[in-house]
């Protein structure tokens, strides 16, 4: 069995934020009902507190970190792209860092969804940028990524 967790922030005001792309994938996975031998959850805590939430689920289902798939936003990857990697990911993602700390391991899967579409000349910080909503044009680029990831996660 695998545990698939979407990272995000739980309040309604964050629903369309770039930081909540993990929740968006989980919503679509749940809607499609493609997964048979998996537990699919969204965190119910704020991003920076994800570690305790994830650790409780790993322990509850008696899983190894290797059975964990964490879906999250990534500013190191351009919007419209993604990477699925085992044991490595961004060093500046507080949600992922929290999970690594609580599990005492980096040995889990990361589904890193690119959200960076910033103006190179702009001065918006990463922390500010990820808490902004996707624009309509960005959603058009994001939808095929979510579709492809749902299919890949169903067959992984």
Ordered DSSP codes for 85-126: EES---TT-HHHHHHHHHHT---SEEEEEEEE---TT----H
Residue 72 annotated as catalytic: no
Identify the CA nearest to 71 among candidates 105, 36, 27, 31.
Answer: 27
Q: How far apart are CA 60 and CA 21, in angstroms?
A: 25
Q: Which of 6, 9, 19, 68 is catalytic?
A: 19
Three-state DSSP state, 68? strand
Residues tagged active-site: 19
């Amino acid at each position: 069995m695998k545990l698939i967790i979407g990272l995000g922030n739980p309040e309604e005001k964050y629903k369309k934020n770039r930081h909540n792309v993990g929740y968006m994938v989980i919503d679509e996975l749940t809607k499609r009902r493609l997964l048979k031998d998996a537990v699919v959850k969204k965190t119910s805590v704020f991003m920076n507190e994800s570690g305790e939430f994830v650790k409780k689920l790993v322990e509850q289902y008696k899983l190894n970190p290797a059975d964990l798939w964490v879906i999250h936003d990534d500013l190191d990857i351009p919007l419209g792209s993604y990477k699925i990697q085992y044991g490595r990911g961004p060093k500046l993602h507080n949600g992922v860092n929290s999970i690594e700390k609580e599990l005492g391991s980096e040995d889990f899967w990361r589904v890193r969804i690119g959200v960076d579409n910033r103006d190179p000349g702009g001065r918006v910080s990463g922390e500010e940028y990820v808490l902004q909503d996707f624009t309509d044009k960005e959603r058009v680029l994001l939808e095929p990524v979510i579709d492809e990831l749902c299919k890949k996660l169903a067959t992984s």
